[in-house]
């Protein structure tokens, strides 16, 4: 039990849920290997962790590129001699109504939210098979549980990841743990990726009224990881009490 000494790769670790998860896991003794596109923000997370005595390294990672995820996992193996957990946390949400025809936004969500998660899984599975142990954690969203306007493509990508996660769990066998976590309204920079201004104003009002800190999700990740190896926490929904 516990996570001290575990090697954890996190894609999407430079801000929001990924950053909160990295700092919390490192504080509990994990060696975190962090990936994201923003090099400056990544290095700031590593500095924050190491200044407090934790262990962290980073590599610039674009989850739209399969080779970037492979290299992130390779860095974990090189420096940590193994990989215990991969957390697929990168996600964007340029949400809008369908009739806004933001096809570029649709493509971007498919590439980052769905394809990026698949690339993370593909990078980690051969390592987990060789070790006969491992843990895949996919960060999804309550947007795929309660269907609302403007969330059509975003929710579709998240529900695709939900399907991937459940079938991976069924295929996994006795040595691989698979967890999905669906956050609700969380105080992150999610709003920054929304280009449709009417939609952005609605989401901003909702976030300002009820959003909870990303640490809430990080604690859920910690809980899933620290269970005994024969215990698989399959699914969590973590949202504000005020969220309908």
Answer whether 93's CB lies under 8 Å from 204's CB.
no
What is the per-residue pLDDT for 1? 60
What is the per-residue pLDDT for 192? 87
| Residue 58, pLDDT above cutoff 70 | yes
Count how many domains the chain has.
Answer: 1
Lowest mean pLDDT among 4-18, 19-33, 197-211, 221-235: 197-211
Helix (H, G, I), strand (E, B) or coil at 177: strand
Contacts of 89 (CB under 8 A, 6+ apart): 10, 11, 12, 13, 17, 18, 21, 139
Read off the pLDDT of each residue in 4-24 and give the average, rounded to a whole number. Answer: 97
Establish if 173 belongs to a structural domain.
yes
The helices-and-strands tally (H runs, E runs) of the chain is 8, 7
Distance in angstroms (rounded) separating the CA atoms of residues 180 and 192: 24
Residue 192: CATH number of its domain:
3.40.50.720
Eight-state DSSP code of residue 212: B
Read off the pLDDT of each residue in 53-81 and give the average, rounded to a whole number. Answer: 98
| Residue 47, pLDDT above cutoff 90 | yes
pLDDT band at 189 (very low <50, low <70, confident <90, very high): confident
Read off the pLDDT of each residue in 211-238 and give the average, rounded to a whole number. Answer: 96
**Highest mean pLDDT of the ranges 1-5, 101-105, 147-151, 196-200:** 101-105
Q: Using alpha carbons only, give the angle 55, 60, 64 rounded to the nearest 5 degrees.
A: 125
Distance in angstroms (rounded) separating the CA atoms of residues 157 and 1: 33
Establish if 168 belongs to a structural domain.
yes
Establish if 1 belongs to a structural domain.
no
What is the per-residue pLDDT for 160? 98
Domain extent, residue 44, equals 7-238
Pick from 174, 112, 164: nearest CA to 138: 164
Place of tokens 């849920």: 17
Read off the pLDDT of each residue in 133-158 and give the average, rounded to a whole number. Answer: 95
Establish if 202 belongs to a structural domain.
yes
Pick from 240, 194, 186, 141: nearest CA to 20: 186
Of 17, 154, 160, 181, the catalytic one is 154
Read off the pLDDT of each residue in 97-115 and give the average, rounded to a whole number. Answer: 96
Establish if 2 belongs to a structural domain.
no
Catalytic site residue 119?
Answer: no
Establish if 244 belongs to a structural domain.
no
Answer whether 10's CB lies under 8 Å from 218's CB.
no
Distance in angstroms (rounded) separating the CA atoms of residues 21 and 219: 8
Establish if 177 belongs to a structural domain.
yes
Establish if 148 belongs to a structural domain.
yes
């Amino acid at each position: 039990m516990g996570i001290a000494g575990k090697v954890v790769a996190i894609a999407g670790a430079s801000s929001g849920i990924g950053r909160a998860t990295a700092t919390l896991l490192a504080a509990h003794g994990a060696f975190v290997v962090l990936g994201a596109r923003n090099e400056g923000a990544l290095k700031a997370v590593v500095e924050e962790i190491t200044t407090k005595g934790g262990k962290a390294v980073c590599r610039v990672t674009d989850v739209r590129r399969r080779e970037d995820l492979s290299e992130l996992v390779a860095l974990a193996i090189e420096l940590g001699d193994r990989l215990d957990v991969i957390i697929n946390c990168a996600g964007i949400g340029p949400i809008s109504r369908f009739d806004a025809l933001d096809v570029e936004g649709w493509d971007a969500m498919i590439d980052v939210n769905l394809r990026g998660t698949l690339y993370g899984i593909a990078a980690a599975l051969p390592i987990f098979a060789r070790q006969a142990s491992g843990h895949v954690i996919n960060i999804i969203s309550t947007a795929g549980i309660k269907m609302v306007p403007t969330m059509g493509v975003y929710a579709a990508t998240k529900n695709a990841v939900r399907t991937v996660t459940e079938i991976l769990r069924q295929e996994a066998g006795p040595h691989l743990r698979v967890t999905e976590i669906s956050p609700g309204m969380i105080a992150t920079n999610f709003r920054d990726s929304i280009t449709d201004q009417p939609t952005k104003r609605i989401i901003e009002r909702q976030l300002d009224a009820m959003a909870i800190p990303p640490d809430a999700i990080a604690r859920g990740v910690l809980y899933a990881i620290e269970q005994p190896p024969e215990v698989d926490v399959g699914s969590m929904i973590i949202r504000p009490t005020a969220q309908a």
